[in-house]
Structures are given as structure tokens and as C-alpha cells.
Amino acid sequence: MSVGGDKLNWSLSRTLVIASNTFREAVRMKLFLGMTGLAICALASSFLFREFNFGSSELKFIADFGFGGMTVFGSALAIIVTAQLLLGEIEHRTAMTLLAKPVYRSEFVLGKFLGVWVTVACFIGMLTLCLVLALWMRESSIRLDYPEEIEQGQSLVHYGGILWFSLAQVFRIGILCALVTLFSTYATSSIFAMVMGVLVWIVGQLQHVATEAGGVVENLVLKTIYSVMGYALPNFHLFDVGEGLAMGEALPISLVGKLLIYGVLYSVFYLAVATASFNRREL
């Protein structure tokens, strides 16, 4: 791209300006506020439902609610907000106004991705805070009710584990946002991008079964289908690290590092393809 005869350099600051505008726009969306409220109410309802818990300790039950909110609501928010903000700009022609200025399309795509990713990361952060608060309140209440049963200084909840889980979800959401960004760069409607995002979310959650099935079945056609599914999509199941984290199971640092590398590589790949796709798109 040339401006006044000089080649325009790719600029991170322009990308960050787009990202910050996207973030401001996203947090003002009614959807974001509604989802946040809904997730917090769902978490609060775990206190009401604890009488109906049969399978695990009360604190784990509350933790499950919080983890459920992060995965379910976080994923839904990532898909909808990404599709709406990116495709919305294209549908309303505001993208043309922006791209008429000296802005690379890759800066636009990356800026949009970063803005949405930070928005959903903030959502997960808020939910994490609420979950930690809820668990701390209940743990304190249990200590007051049963002082002899619990040793002094013994913690019933592993709060660090909750933070690790939240971090894993941020990595997962990054991949999901990058995928929906890719779909949005060639989709003609936001519904298509959202539906594709939901399908990939579900199929990505089943990817590990397809990978193992590809090694077991003998039928060549099925083997090929399972193998393609296994290799073509990221494995979202890797980020389901939550089963026992709140109750003290350790998550090694090396594992967090591996999840980070996995998340970054897939996100960078999908963003690169999204950029290439958007460069070819007629607005």
C-alpha cells in the first residue's frame, strides 16, 4: 500500500486503535451485558440448587456452575460478538469507510479479533471473580458451621486452580474467535458465520473421539472421514481441564505452556487465512 509515493508500513498502533474501538463497541452491546448478567445469575443459582446436588461436594458443585458459565456463555459470546462486529461493519459499509483510509486489511482483521478476544477475556475474568467470591463465601460459612471438622489453615478450595482454568478458557476462546473471524471474512450473513462457529465448537469438542476412532475403525471411508476431522480441526477438549482443579488437583506449568502454544499456533493460522480471505473479498 502506498501513501503519497511512500510505502505504508504495517502498524501495530493502528491495529490497537481498531481493537480498542471494537472493545468499546462490544462491551456496550446489550448481548454482552445480558450474557454477563445471565452467567452471574446462573452462578448465584448454584446456592439454591445445592440441595439437589447428589454427586459431588457442595463446593465442587458451585465450581462446576462457574466453569459451565465460562465455557458455555463464553463460547456463545465469542461466536456471536465476533460475527456481529466483523460482519456488521461489512454489512453496514462502515468497513469501506475505514479501509478507504491508509489501513491494511490485515490490521482491520487483527484489530477486530483482538478487540473481541479481550472482550470475552474480560467476561471470563468477571465470572472468575464472581466464582472465587462465591466459593470463598461458602467456604467461610462451612468453616463457621463445622470448625472441628476442618484443620486450621486448610483450604477447601484451590483458588489457583480456578485461575488456571480461566486461563485455559481464554486460550480456547482465542481459537474460537479466530475461527469465527475466518468465517466472517467470506460469509455474506452473520447467521452463517454464527452457525458455522457453533458447528465448529461442537465438532472441535468431539475431535478427540474422531482422532481415536480413525485409528480403530477398519472401514476405509470412515477411517478417512475420522482422520480428516481429527486433523482439520483444533481439539477443544484439551481445554476441559476443570474437573478437579478447584478441589486441589494440580495443573503443571508445562501443561499451561503447551496449551498456550497450541492456542497461539491455531489462532495465528486461522487469522492468517482470514486475512488472506479478506484481502480477496470485494466489499
Partner 1 sequence: MNSSYSILPYALLLALLLGWALSSLDRSITDQLGQRSGVQSLKDVESQFGQGLTVAVLGGYRSIAANLIWLSKNQEWEERDVAGTLGKIALATSIDPRPEMFWLNGARILANDMPTWVVGLENAEQLEITDEGRAIARQYAERALAFLEESREYQSGNPRMHIESGMIYWKKLDDVESAAASFKAAIDTGGAPYFAYRLYGELLIELGLKHEALRLLQSHYETLPDDFLEAMKPVVGDRIRLLKRELNIAD
Binding site for partner 1 (CB under 8 A): 42, 46, 49, 52-56, 61, 63-72, 182, 185-186, 201-202, 205-206, 208-209, 211-213, 216-217, 222, 228, 230-238, 240-242, 252, 254-255, 258-259, 261-262, 265-266, 269, 273, 276-278, 280-282
Query: Which lies closer to partner 1 via its Cβ, residue 143 or residue 237?
Result: 237
Q: Which of 57, 212, 20, 193 is nearest to 138 (CA)?
A: 57
Contact 74, 128 (CB under 8 A): no
C-alpha distance from residue 65 to each of 33, 62, 280 (Å): 19, 5, 43
Query: Which lies closer to partner 1 via its Cβ, residue 10 or residue 231?
Result: 231
Query: Which lies closer to partner 1 via its Cβ, residue 111 or residue 234?
Result: 234
Q: Which of 109, 120, 117 is nearest to 86 (CA)?
A: 109
**Shortest reach from residue 55's CB to partner 1, in Å:** 2
**Shortest reach from residue 282's CB to partner 1, in Å:** 5
Contact 62, 50 (CB under 8 A): yes
**Shortest reach from residue 182's CB to partner 1, in Å:** 8
**Shortest reach from residue 52's CB to partner 1, in Å:** 5
Query: Which lies closer to partner 1 via its Cβ, residue 106 or residue 211?
Result: 211
Q: Which contacts qualify for 224-231: CB closer than 8 Å, 24 or more apart?
A: 229/203
Query: Which lies closer to partner 1 via its Cβ, residue 23 or residue 270?
Result: 270
**Shortest reach from residue 243's CB to partner 1, in Å:** 8
Contact 264, 170 (CB under 8 A): no
Query: Which lies closer to partner 1 via its Cβ, residue 93 or residue 258?
Result: 258
**Shortest reach from residue 189's CB to partner 1, in Å:** 14
